[in-house]
Amino acid sequence: MTCTAPDHHGILIKQMQWIPSFFTDIYNELSNISGAAGVRERWLQGQMYLHVLDNGKDIELEKSLPVKTPKGEPPKSQKFDIVLDGKLAIELKIIGISHQTKMFDIFKKDFQRLISITDEIYSSGKYVMLVLVKDDESKLNNNLHEKLKNFSDSAIVKPYFEHDYGYFSVKVWKIINDN
């Protein structure tokens, strides 16, 4: 099966315009690997890396960035899944059949981790990307899928991009408040 995403270039900033075509291009491969627990996210990061490089953009995976620390503690850094063009930080989650409801709390922590970045270069470029795999067994965990799909916290994030590709859907949130 093939899937085509609509042209979202009118709403996506230049550094993010690869998203619709990327997920269209990997549709078949993602449906094949979605059952491979433990490697889905790394595989997806690798595919993104190759796609973004092929399109002439700069991408780094697992890059360490400075984060806020309590007063009196030494500075520290944390690794973030994807950094684009040295100014956009993205945390990626792919949720499939083997995930439990505790994933919702892990997912919410990604927003807090992004908010904690102290480097001003990233102040307007922090995103969480969710790939939600839909399959027969997802009905068993429908509550988790619905909670993830409908996640909203208007104080810190706004929906940025969303598209249903059939077998999976993709939703991206942008951090809007760094308090």
What are 56-107's pLDDT values in tens digits?
889 999 999 999 988 888 889 999 999 999 999 999 998 876 567 778 888 8
pLDDT at 29 over 80: yes
Q: Cα(97)–Cα(113) distance, rounded to whole angstroms?
A: 25
pTM for the structure as a whole: 0.86
pLDDT value at residue 143: 74
Cβ contacts of residue 52 below 8 Å, gap of 6+? 18, 22, 58, 59, 84
pLDDT score recorded for residue 156: 77
Residue 140 has pLDDT above 70, yes or no: no
CA nearest neighbour of 173 among 97, 165, 162, 42: 162
Phi, psi of 13 (to 5 degrees): -65, 160
E-assigned strand segments in 9-156: 59-67, 76-84, 88-95, 126-133
Q: Would you say 148 and 130 are in contact if contact means Cβ atoms under 8 Å apart?
A: yes
